[in-house]
Amino acid sequence: MAKKPMNVSLPGPEDIHREVLPNGITVLSRANFNSPSVVVSGYFTSGSLFESDEKLGLADFTFAALMRGTQKRDMQGLYDALESAGAGFGYDSGTYTSGFSGRSLAEDLPLLLDILAETIQVPTFPAEQIERLRAQMLTGLAIRAQDTSDMADLIFNDALFEGHPYARPEDGWPETIQSITREDMQNFHQRTIGPRGMVISIVGAVDPKRAVEAVQRALGAWTNPAQEERPAIPDKSAPAQTVKRVHPIAGKTQSDLIIGTIGPRRKDADFMAASLGNSVLGQFGMMGRIGDIVREKSGLAYYASSSLSAGTGPGSWEVSAGVNPLNVQKAADLIVSEMKRFVQKGVSAQELSDSQNSYVGRLPLSFESNGGVAGSLINIERFDLGLDYYRRYEGLVRGVTRAQVKAVAEKFIDPDKLVIAVAGP
């Protein structure tokens, strides 16, 4: 019997239904009747880009408060309705977009959409709940201040994206969280959250056209004339020279180290080559070359890996490591040396082939759950990848050459112009 091609189970144009409602909401849906459940996820064009420096953390605060009470139900009523159906729903904030996600049995899809519509259109921001949230957020910031990994990340972004919106912490500072008022949250909600640019993905035991009809009933009449256009994200150039930042935290037994530079945007033509190169550098197997040389062979780190953060705006390409404070300089020198070798020598045919096989082989696994499919649909809409993206994916991956990986490494990584951030004792 002939072996079926891999892409028969992958989402594609013939089984992804995409429809834009008159008020601007884009609905993506794919049926899966092998599961009795349904997942709803999506995003709004609202986030920390709309915040002022004096009110950092406002988006995070506002989205955290949406489930704390509405004109129809208090917080207890909202969660009772969800729990009585064994369902769940919540929000999270981001820089460029802020999201929501929920899951339930397919028969309770109207409940999820009602909760979404209610909390996003008529939240009340109860004063008592706001103060509870404020206390929780301030506690979180106090914990962040003592976390070497969090603080290394914070000072790395501050140095790499100096003067850029990405330099600011999305969860704010204690003084900005203290300054945020109920009126600030109401204003942020009114001017940034609306149907224009909103995307909803629904996957599970529901006919895609019925899913669109359900969204139309819940949110089709929603308008917000006050909704502002999202600010553009400026470009950011790589550092002109190596910049080192150190943030001391007394009493710690570990230092966290981040070394990196500006990386590609998700839609850049060389993103796939950069992603596969990053896999070789510090992801594949036991954290790639970085993990092998810094952790396994030299014993200088508790963990060491690289990552490529690529979104709508300029991303970062960075190496992170947790090290003994006495070994910070040794580990940093070894990481920079390995990055230099990566740029100069590129990757071997075997390394590239192994990473390509890994990328192709794990793709079907990401579609084994409704949540995985829903997230994948959101991904192709967010970055305008096309409904056939996952059908083209294997070709895109296998089409990357060693020369392309070397070229993209040379384009983005200059070992003499890096940001080095250290947080620890």
Task: Give all strands (DSSP E) within 93-195, no chain letters.
Answer: 98-105
Domain assignment of residue 341, yes or no:
yes
Structure tokens at 421: 């951030």
Same domain, 214 and 247: no
User: Looking at the domain assignment, is residue 365 inside a domain?
Assistant: yes
179, 254: one domain: no
The predicted-structure confidence for 173-227, as pLDDT tens digits, reads as follows: 999 999 999 999 999 999 999 999 999 999 999 999 999 999 999 999 999 999 9
Cite the DSSP H helix spans in 232-348: 271-282, 284-290, 328-345
Query: Does residue 412 share a domain with residue 315?
Result: yes
Domain finish residue from 203, 219, 235: 219
Based on the fold, state whether residues 180 and 326 are members of the same structural domain.
no
- Whole-number Å distance between alpha carbons of 114 and 122: 12
CA nearest to 208, candidates 387, 402, 7: 387
Task: Assess whether 211 and 287 both reside in one domain.
Answer: no
Pick the closest to residue 281 from 255, 307, 311 (CA basis).
Answer: 307
Q: Strands 419-424 and 199-204: what pairing?
A: unpaired
- In degrees, rounded to 5, the angle at the alpha carbon of residue 312 between the alpha carbons of residues 307 and 314 is 60
Are residues 266 and 411 both part of a single domain?
yes
Q: Does residue 229 belong to any structural domain of this protein?
A: no
| Residue among 364, 420, 351, 374 nearest 394 (CA) | 364
Task: Indicate the residue type of 355.
Answer: S
Average pLDDT, the chain: 95
Q: What is the pLDDT of residue 1?
A: 36
Domain hosting 401: range is 243-424
Q: Are residues 204 and 302 in the same domain?
A: no
Which of residues 156, 187, 219 is at a domain's end?
Answer: 219
* Structural domain contains residue 236: no
Q: Is residue 42 part of a domain?
A: yes
Answer with the one of 186, 219, 252 that is the final residue of a domain: 219
The verdict on 254 and 213 lying in the same domain is: no
Q: Could you say which residues of the chain have pLDDT below 70?
A: 1-8
CB 400 within 8 A of CB 273: yes
pLDDT of residue 80: 97
One domain, residues 398 and 301: yes
Cβ–Cβ under 8 Å, residues 382 and 215: no
Q: Is residue 46 part of a domain?
A: yes
Place of tokens 């802020």: 98
Residue 83 half-sphere exposure toward CB, CA atoms < 13 A: 6
**Counted domains in the chain:** 2
Could you tell me if 207 and 291 lie in one domain? no
203 in the same domain as 54: yes
192 and 285 fall within a common domain: no
User: Does residue 309 contact residue 319 with C-beta atoms inside 8 Å?
Assistant: no
Q: Cβ distance 58 to 221 under 8 Å? A: no
Domain membership of residue 251 (yes or no) is yes
**What CATH number does the domain containing 99 carry?**
3.30.830.10
Residue type for position 287: M
CA atoms within 13 A on the CB side of 322: 10
Say how many C-beta atoms besides its own lie within 10 A of residue 14's C-beta. Answer: 9
Model confidence, pTM: 0.91
Residue 57 domain-assigned?
yes
CA distances from 93 to 42, 81, 86 (A): 12, 23, 24
Whole-angstrom Cα distance, residue 118 to residue 244?
47
